[in-house]
Each structure stands twice: as structure tokens, then as C-alpha cells.
Amino acid sequence: MTTHDVINPATEETVRTIDLVGVEETDEAVARAVEVGPQWRAMAPADRGRLLRRFSDVVDDHLEELARLEVQNAGHTIGNARWEAGNVRDVLAYYSAAPERLLGQQIPVAGGINVTFKEPLGVVSVIVPWNFPMPIAGWGFAPALAAGNTVVLKPAELTPLTAMRLAELALDAGVPEGVFTVLPGKGSVVGERFVTHPDVRKVCFTGSTAVGQGIMRGAADQLKRVTLELGGKSANIVFADADLEAAAAAAPMSFLDNAGQDCCARTRILVQREVFNDFMGRFESAMRDVRVGDPGDDATQMGPLVSDRQRETVRGFVEGSEEPVDVAFRGTAPEGAGWWYPPTVVLPRSTSDRVWQDEVFGPVVGVMPFDDEADAIAKANDTAYGLSGSIWTRDVGRAIRVSRGVEAGNLSVNSHSSVRYSTPFGGFKSSGIGRELGPDALDAFTEVKNVFISTEP
Ligand code: NAP
Ligand code: MG
């Protein structure tokens, strides 16, 4: 059996060695998920809801344990990791109400009655990246289970520990064996098997655009359903009429949260030309306050990158770049063991610069001036991606006009929020297909069935 050493990104020490699942075990898990499917979907809606609610409570009882495990496995700050475990709890609680609200329609027709049902798909697979192992798992499995599907889930090879623990907690809560199975293994093995296995009816994928495109191509063979949450290169647009101090104070963590390994990171700051220098001065002083260090310390705001490889990728955008990259200023990072990289602010020379166009997935941001509203929207949209974005202005009409003009799925005004479990989340353009979370998430895990019943005598 192949094994994988899980490494603590802050210390480079081995946390645990785990056995990686292969194709055979994947097929066994899918077969079990098929077998228990009818029982799970036939369960009374209130009972299925109660089990998910209990699962949520068990997660809450283990919140600190899960959070500490994520600090060790992914190098997340303890504050973030507590939020992440709490998010799994909340998403489960939110969708525990869904089985009893999986409403269809009654549509007026001649000669009878017509009703629609939202039927579960069957076995749903979830493929999770290493940047947010807990929340992204929950956004897939919670609504999928609520809709009556059974779930097989593959965590990223680098960060399997919390998902494996969540599967144990599901059993503790009384979710029947085989309904929710976590399969730690390689993307090229377990992930690809999800795509090719005829009994897996859907792939819910979060990760890189390139792998997502491959999954969509592979899924075409069986017309398998896909939801894709991919990369981002989100704009943070600061107008001259904004509360500049608030915009500057919020800018550091808008790209440094999770050490920049966030698909919603605001990695392109666009500042209206007349306040550019004023903003940069305030931004630089706000950057000085960011605490980078031991992720287990409550006061830490930014930890290490997830892996040596990821750090090299990030470094390649700044130090190793073929085109010249002008660094405006930098924060500090610990030295010695751990995959640290300092917060870095760059001034791209052109909108075609790699650091301005490509997703870095690290603590690096570019800043560029713009002239007016039309220029801001054009620059914000000059990217293949379309996941998130922020608009800072005191003009309500402008806030709405620009929100409507930016081609992205999740925008925030005078803040940097992207994700709330009760609101939809997903991308335009190369950032993905489909939406997760919010009131309509179950649509992505069900098929609409239409039934006409004749009332003719
Ligand atoms: P990735 O390769 O797309 O990995 C995401 C998930 O897909 C992992 O569980 C991975 O498994 C799995 N996978 C890989 N190849 C697969 C395949 N052929 N078939 C099915 N599943 C497969 O992303 P990454 O290598 O971790 O990160 C690379 C870049 O992707 C990052 O630098 C970042 O730009 C972007 N990214 C974006 C997000 C996001 O939230 N949108 C998240 C992560 C990464 P293994 O881990 O076992 O390979
Ligand atoms: Mg990969």
C-alpha cells in the first residue's frame, strides 16, 4: 500500500503517516454507497434531518480538536481553523432543515395534476483541495447528504486529516456506514476514478482550473454532472470617495488570509489615481501590523504556506520571474523550519504581467491605478477568472453600478466578505460552473422529475 507522510507546514515535522487508498478500495466504497443509497433516500425526511443535526452537534463537541488538527496539518492559524470547523457545524445545521423543505411544484395543467419531485442523484463524489479542507468538504457533503445522496469524498493528499476525522464523527452521530466515506488518496488515482466510475453520478470539484477542465472533459463521456469551483484573481477596487483609512486597513488580510491560499483572495488592488499615493502610505502602515508566525498562537494572523512546493511556486512569481517585478514593500516572516513567505506588495508594469494575470495562491498582491468608473470595471474584468471582488466607495449608486459591472460571482461593498453558508457562492468565467451554499444548493444535488397524474374518469 502506498503511504503519505502528513507534514506540519510550520515545523516540517511529520504529523502522521497515512495509507493511501487505491482504485480497488475506491470501487468498494462506491459499491457500498450504491448499496446503502435506497435506505438513506427512503429515510423519513425528519429523521434524515435529525441525523444531520446530530452530526452538526458532534462536530461542535469536537471543534477545538478539529481546529488543532488543521493547524498541524495545513498550517492554518488557530483562529481561522476554529472558524473552519465552526463552518462545517453551521453548514450541517443549515442543511439539516433541507430534507423537510425539499419542495417540488404543483403546476396547473389540463386533465389532471402535475407535480415535480427533486430526486437525489445517487452516489455523489466530492474532491477537495488543500487550502480549506474542512469548509469545502462540508459545502459538498452536507447538501448532498441532505438531498438523499450518498457521498464519497477525496481530501487533498496533503491535507486529509480533518476530513478523515469528520467521517468518524458522522458515524458517531449515527449516520449509517457507507453513506459518507472519506477516501484519502491521490487525485490521479481516486479523483480520476470518481470521474470514470459509472455509478458516481456527480463530481463536485474544487481546485485548480486546469484539473477542473480535465474533470469536465472526462465527465462528458457519461454526461456526469459537475460543479466546479476553480481559481480566482479578484479585484479590490478603491474609489477616491471611499473611506480610505478603512479600505487600507482591510486590504492586508484581504489577500493574506490563509497565507493567500484562498481562491477569493483580493490579489489585484485597483486604486483611483488621485488617491493612489495616499492609499499606498496607509496600506504600508497597515501591513506593518500583520502578525506572521506560529499558527497555533491566538494572536497570529498569517501562518506558513502549505508545502515547500507551493512556496517555490509563489517565489517564482516574484524572485524567479523572467519579467522584472517591482516590489513596493514587504512584511516579515519567520526564518528556519517551516514554509514561510513574507507578505509582498508588487507594482506590475503592465496588465499583462504574469503576477497580475495568474493566480499566485500565496501572500502576494499587485496594486495599480485606474482613472474612472469605466476604467475600474474594464481593469477588474481583464482576467480569465471571475470569482470575487470588492468595491470601496461612499456612493451607493456607484457601488451598485460597479457590482453589476464586475463579472464575478461574489462581490462585497466596503468589506471583503465572500462566503456565508446561507448565500450562494461560485464563479463566472474560468472560476467555475455552478453554485454552492445558500438556499438553492440542493438543486445541484438533485434531478427534477415531472409527474402527470390523469384525473380523467
Ligand atoms: P489541484 O491539483 O486542482 O487539486 C485539487 C484536488 O483535485 C485535490 O484533491 C487533488 O488531489 C485533486 N486532483 C488532482 N488531479 C486530479 C485529477 N486528475 N482528477 C481528479 N482529481 C484530481 O490543485 P493543487 O495542485 O492542490 O493546487 C494547484 C493550484 O490550484 C494552486 O496553486 C491554486 O492556484 C489552485 N487552487 C485553487 C483552489 C480553489 O479553491 N479554487 C484550491 C486549491 C488550489 P491531490 O491533492 O491528491 O493531487
Ligand atoms: Mg495538483
Ligand 1 pocket test, candidate residues 202, 211, 314, 387, most atoms within 8 A of CB: 211
- Contact call for residues 391 and 237 (beta carbons, < 8 A): yes
pLDDT at 187: 98
Please give the pLDDT value at position 82: 98
Q: Which of 10, 258, 282, 303 is nearest to 131 (CA)?
A: 258
Q: Give the whole-angstrom CA distance, residue 403 versus residue 396.
A: 11
How many C-beta atoms lie closer than 10 Å to residue 414's C-beta? 15
Whether the Cβ atoms of residue 36 and residue 177 lie closer than 8 Å to each other: yes
3 Cα to the center of ligand 1, angstroms: 19
pLDDT for position 1: 77
- Which tens digit of pLDDT belongs to each residue from 307-319? 999 999 999 999 9
Residue with CA closest to ligand 1 atom 30:
208
Residue spans of the chain under pLDDT 70 = none
Q: Name the CA dihedral angle for 19, 24, 27, 33, rounded to a multiple of 10 degrees.
A: -50
CA of 263 to the centre of ligand 2 (A): 15
Give the domains, in start order, of the chain with CATH numbers: 3-230+431-454 (3.40.605.10), 235-420 (3.40.309.10)
Which grid coordinates belong to 171? 458515524
Extended strands (E) in 155-222: 180-182, 200-206
Convert the pLDDT of each residue in 396-444 to its tens digit.
Answer: 999 999 999 999 999 999 999 879 999 999 999 999 999 999 999 999 9
C-alpha distances in Å from residue 425, one per residue of 294, 415, 428: 31, 16, 10
Active site residue 373: no
Which of ligand 1's atoms lies nearest the C-alpha of 431? Answer: 41
Give the length of the chain.
457
**pLDDT value at position 417?**
84
Q: Are 199 and 30 in contact (CB under 8 A)?
A: yes
- Nearest ligand atom owner, CA of 313: 1
